[in-house]
Amino acid sequence: MTQRKPPGVGFESFADAQIRRAREEGLFDDLPGKGKPLDLGDSYDPAWWAKKLVAREGLSLLPPSLEIRRIVEREMERVLGLATEREVRAAVGALNETIRRHGRADPKGPPTTQPQLDPDAVVRRWREAREARPA
């Protein structure tokens, strides 16, 4: 039976009193696993919440000089799927600006070695990818 906390009684003392009464009545005596450690399984990871936060928020824990490589790789996959050469060249220009910004930023970690992209080479790759796609 659930009771409401009476006015003027602190929550902690009210909860402690309920637990004490339940213990005295033996309500905890026959619980499964009594006296045994909690089974957290073999795959328990104490940093699960941090990993979920990073994944949910799309955060990166890489230093900027390495993060730019990940950005370029991800963007190149997208660029190769664009519909027109004009879109490809615009995307490469934007990507090169991002690379320049990373190169000018105050480095935290190793310096970036990511070169700027050659728009003509990317357009050639884009054309090859388009020709290789089934019609």
Which residues are within 8 A (CB) of 11 and not within 5 positions of it... i.e. 6 or more apart?
5
**What's the pLDDT at 84?**
93
What pLDDT, on a 0 to 100 scale, did the predictor assign at position 1? 54
For the chain of 135 residues, list the mean pLDDT of each consecutive stretch of 10: 70 80 89 81 81 86 82 92 94 93 72 89 92 79
pLDDT score at 39: 75
> Contact 79/126 with Cβ under 8 angstroms?
yes
* pTM of this structure: 0.55
pLDDT for the residue numbered 117: 94
- The pLDDT assigned to 108 comes to 67
Q: Are 108 and 66 in contact (CB under 8 A)?
A: no
d(CA 7, CA 12): 13
- Give the contacts of 80 (CB within 8 A, at least 6 positions apart): 125, 126, 129
Q: Where are the domains of the chain?
A: 61-132
Please tell me the predicted confidence (pLDDT) of residue 106.
Answer: 62
C-alpha separations of 67 from 23, 62, 101, 127, 134 in Å: 55, 5, 12, 27, 33
